[in-house]
Structure formats: structure tokens, C-alpha cells
Structure 1
Amino acid sequence: MSRTESVQAAGGGSTAPVLSPSELVGLSLGTRVVTYDETDAILYALAVGAAAEDTDYTYERGLRVLPTFALPLGLWTADAASAAGAFVPAEALHGAQYLSLRSPLPAAGQLSISGSIAAVWDTGRSALIDVLAECEEFSAIYSIILPGKGGFGGERKPRRTPVVAETDMDVTTEFDTNPSQAALYRLTGDRHAIHIDPVAARAAGFDRPILHGLCTLGVAAREVASASDRRPDELRELSARFVSPVKPGDRLATTCRTSAADAGSVAKFVVSVVERNVLADCFATFVR
């Protein structure tokens, strides 16, 4: 089974009755073997803005795989959670993303990825479902917001904020997304119509198709690595909250502050378009 077929096999809609929070925690979503090759890894790198001359990530000879490629590989778990009755897609938002790398992703291979509902949190106004994708190489949490579904007496999710020295300087980089960026990124597996179809985008309340949040995050991870004087493949941990949408063609400004840490560095960052934040409460850690 190819990587794209594995992602699509989860389906795009909920086919089971929506479950209560108490029924969701610990729910297994199964295990899938996800296969990819060098072409998939290179396509992903190009889709998140790598240039042709970034041959560490765009040339099969000595190919390094961007760590954030793990996110589309594990995305089937969110679709599987919906199909199992965790939420109705039309009533849900991708609120935040977390990624932890245990080892570098191989240039090509088969990953046995297991999915589960790790936790359900109560913000008061909304419910927050943490969908976990896990394998030997990485773990990822897709945090799904259900507006208006809070107030059930659950716990509020704690925030983790790494310490970055106040004496360190802020560094800002800019990246111009391509008008065709969403059309390219959707080939990595997320074929949702709002990223390509103007009619679907307008029905969802947007004036035109929007960029995938995970694409914005993939771009930001590369920009933060550059600002922190690290290679993108040295990323070991990444966390971000999705605040507002990006349109293909927007200019992304990534502002980060980096401190040295044991055997690496940690960066806190925010991504904005003009004066509007699109990613907030972000951090990344890198190893040497």
C-alpha cells in the first residue's frame, strides 16, 4: 500500500455515532503500515518551501528527510478518530499540533503507526481531543477542537512552555508562500476540498482556498531552524497552536528567540501574516 492510499483509506467523514468524552479516552484507532519512498519525501520538502538547491532534502543522493514529514504520515489517525465517532468533521477544527522525533526518518521505508485517543480536555467553551499517532520513529498529537462542546467537567489541558533566556535576541525571517502552494501540498495526502476548490472554500466561510495548517507549520519549522543556526533535520520536538488561516501567496513572518540547551537548542516562535498571528504558543527543540 502506498503512503497516499494509506492516508485516504481512513475516509473523510464520521460513520459512527459521536461518543462521549468518557468513552473516547484510550480508544484504539488501530495500526497501519505506511509506506513511502524518496519521491514522497522530496515532494514533501518542495511542498513546504525547500528550494531546488537545498539538495540535502531535494536530491535522492544522501537524502535527509524533513522531520515534519512525519505529520502527513500520521494524519490518517485524525480521520480514523472521526470515523470511530470521536467528532463530526464539519463541527471540528485542527487546533494545535505536537511532534516528537525519536530517530531520524529513513529516506524510504515502512512505518507501523498506531493511533489512539490520548486525552479529552475541557476548555469551558470547547472540548479538545488529542489524537495520538505513534511509531518507533516519532509520536504526533493532532489536537482537535470541538467548539461549543465544553463544559462537561473535564480537566483543562496544561501548557508546556520551554524556558528561553530573556537576554537572547529575537530573529525574524520572511517566506513568501507560492500561489500554488496548497495545490502542491495536498499531494502529500491531505486532499480536503477547501485547499483547492473555491466553491468548497466559500462554503466554509473563506473567500478562496486556504493553505493547510500543517504546510504552514512545515515552512515555519524550516525557518526556525535557519534562524537558530540549525539544520532542519536536527529538529527533535515541535509544538504550535493554529490561530488563523493562511492564503496561498501570503508572506509568512517567523519571529523566534533561541537559547542553547543541553546538546542542542530550544526556540520559542510565532508566525504572522502582516499583523495577524497564524501560529502561536510555538516552540521547537533541536539536537546537534
Structure 2
Amino acid sequence: MGHRTDQAPEAADRWRGRALGSRTVSYDERDVMLYALAVGAHPVADLDLVFERELRVLPTFALTLAQWAPDVLAGKGAFGDGTALHGAQRLTVHKPLPPSGEMTCSAVVTDVWDKGGAAVFEVAVDSPYFHAVWSVFAPGRGGFGGERGPGRPAAPVGEPTHRTSLETFAAQAALYRLTGDRHLIHIDPAAAATIGQPRPILHGLCTLAGTVLRLADAVGAHPADLAELDGRFAAPVLPGETLDITAWQDGDRSTFEVARDGESVLSAGHIRFRNP
């Protein structure tokens, strides 16, 4: 998560129910268009995501407006040694974001799960437009005798209904970080090397948003009509890699997996569009 503290971390389970405050955040059309381009929107196929005329907002843009919440938790010392990882993300869209404006978001630590050698902190952010939940995996913070929390969802069964691909590009992490997440592992080769990566890695939320674009096309929906999204980050992605997306559609909902050469990078994915 990019934060360190010299203070001894408070017992993990004591963070459950802790309010993290509220913030009023503002943005304009330029922010919306930059975000869409950063996650892979195409100026032809996705024109209304990148052109101010009749501009629509990709709902995952909301996550850039709420990123402050897990950062506040990290800054308060909940993770101790700064090795926490973004494990999963959920997003429920209440109504479309306007192309520009401001909103007030509030955040709270809704749960802390005990995984033995680690704890998982769930940070929920609410606004009139969306509800979002970050799951943060914190090594060394478990073992406090709490509940383990939900298990890993069962793998999809049967033949997939859709197969498509997500082509990332070499400058994508450098571009995406301009939307708000400037953690050094996404731009600095030395920082990436400290986590065992040969070069800076792509933001998980960027991969997730790019997947929304490709799945919307696969199921015949507009990406701005995203209603629900859920996924677990299973492995890092390097900018420039091509990923395979497999989906199992059931009505207006789909289960999906994203892989690179057979290795999962996004698992247990679920998505729903309002008008497929």
C-alpha cells in the first residue's frame, strides 16, 4: 500500500468498525477522459468515454476518488511494516457519475479477518453514487483468534460463454498513476525489484477496469452501464502483456477469470451490467 510507520501496530481486530473519516472530492471532464485512456479505452470504439461531447463516465473511475480510504488506514499504522497487498476489490454502482462535479465519501473498516499468518482488512467507502470495498491482505497481522472470513469461491463449471483478450501497453502503468495511485512499484524499477519484479508492474485496478471494457464488448453492453464488479488480484501484470479473459454468462451476470499463459492474474471475478 506504500505506507510505513515506526509505531508498533495496534492489534488487528481492534480496527473493526473504525471510522476513517469523510472527504469531499472533486473532478472534471479531463480527469474522466484521462482515466478512460489509461485503462485502455479506444478513441473510436469507446468515443463517448474519451470525448467531452456526450461524455459518459466509466464507473470504475469512482475507485480513484475513494483511494484515499485504504491509504488513510495504512497511514494510521494498521499494517505495521508496509508489506500489505491489495487482495480484492468490490464495486456496486448506485447511479451514474456526472462528467464533472464533487461528492462526499465516507469510509469505515467493516471487517478484519484472521488468516493465521496474515489479516485481511476490509475498507468500505460509501457515497450517493457507489459503494466500494477494498480487501487488504496484511502479512504478519493475523493470529489474533478471529474468524477466517469467507473462503475462496468455487471455480466456474462448464464451458465458458465468452473468450476475449486484454492487451496492456508499455506506458500504461506510467499513465494510470496520473489518475491518483503513485506508488513507486508502478514507475520505479528499483522499487519494483524490491518485490521481486523485473520492472514496474501495472496497477491491479487498471487491469480490472480494462477487463470491464473487454467484457462489456463481449456481452453486448456499454461499459458505462456497469452495475456490480468483484475480483481478486492473484498475480502481478507487467505493462505490455496480453491477458486472456474467460467468462461464463448467466443472464445479466457473468463470472470471469483473467490469466497470462495459463496463470491467473484476476480470479473469482463477477460482473453485471444494467443493459446487456
Assess same fold via TM > 0.5.
yes
- Whether the 8 Å contact between 1:162 and 1:283 is mirrored in structure 2 is no
- Whether the 8 Å contact between 2:160 and 2:246 is mirrored in structure 1 is no
User: Following TM superposition, by how much is the alpha carbon of 1:161 offset from its aligned partner in structure 2, in angstroms?
Assistant: 5.7
Q: Which runs of 5+ in 2 are unaligned?
A: none
Aligned Cα root-mean-square deviation (Å): 2.1
**Tell me, what secondary structure is at the counterpart of 2:82?**
helix
Q: Distance in 2 between matches of 1:77 and 1:59?
A: 30
Q: Distance in 1 between matches of 2:253 and 2:155?
A: 8
TM-score normalised according to structure 2 size: 0.93
1:268 correspondence with 2:255:
yes
Q: Report Cα offsets for 1:107-128 as digits up to 9, x if no partner.
A: 1110101111111011233210
Q: Distance in 2 between matches of 1:221 and 1:42?
A: 16
- Whether the 8 Å contact between 1:134 and 1:140 is mirrored in structure 2 is yes
Counterpart residue number, 1:277: 264
Within 5 Å, give how 1:1-288 maps onto structure 2. Answer: 12-14=3-5, 17-53=8-44, 54-88=46-80, 90-158=82-150, 169-260=160-251, 265-288=252-275
Q: Report Cα offsets for 1:94-138 as digits up to 9, x if no partner.
A: 111111111111111101011111110112332100011111111
User: Following TM superposition, by how much is the alpha carbon of 1:149 offset from its aligned partner in structure 2, in angstroms?
Assistant: 2.6
Q: Distance in 2 between matches of 1:89 and 1:256?
A: 37
Q: Report Cα offsets for 1:251-281 as digits up to 9, x if no partner.
A: 0111111111xxxx00000001111110001
**Tell me, what secondary structure is at the counterpart of 1:182?**
helix
**Tell me, what secondary structure is at the counterpart of 1:19?**
coil
Q: Report Cα offsets for 1:33-61 as digits up to 9, x if no partner.
A: 11000100010000010011111101111
User: Following TM superposition, by how much is the alpha carbon of 1:150 offset from its aligned partner in structure 2, in angstroms?
Assistant: 2.1
Q: Distance in 1 between matches of 2:169 and 2:113?
A: 36
Q: Distance in 2 between matches of 1:175 and 1:90?
A: 31
Q: Which sits farther off after the overlay, 33-42 or 150-159?
A: 150-159
Q: Distance in 1 between matches of 2:130 and 2:267?
A: 23
Indicate how the Cα distance of structure 1 residues 61 and 172 shifts in structure 2: closer, same or farther if over 3 A, else same: same
- Whether the 8 Å contact between 1:13 and 1:79 is mirrored in structure 2 is no
Q: Distance in 1 between matches of 2:125 and 2:118?
A: 22
User: Following TM superposition, by how much is the alpha carbon of 1:14 offset from its aligned partner in structure 2, in angstroms?
Assistant: 3.9
Match for 2:263: what amino acid? R
Q: Distance in 1 between matches of 2:66 and 2:190?
A: 28
User: Following TM superposition, by how much is the alpha carbon of 1:245 offset from its aligned partner in structure 2, in angstroms?
Assistant: 0.1
**Tell me, what secondary structure is at the counterpart of 1:91?**
coil
- Whether the 8 Å contact between 1:115 and 1:133 is mirrored in structure 2 is yes
Q: Which runs of 5+ in 1 are unaligned?
A: 1-10
Kindly tell me the number of residue pairs found equivalent between the two proteins: 274
User: Following TM superposition, by how much is the alpha carbon of 1:286 offset from its aligned partner in structure 2, in angstroms?
Assistant: 1.4
- Whether the 8 Å contact between 1:256 and 1:270 is mirrored in structure 2 is yes
**Tell me, what secondary structure is at the counterpart of 1:225?**
helix
Identity across matched positions, percent: 44
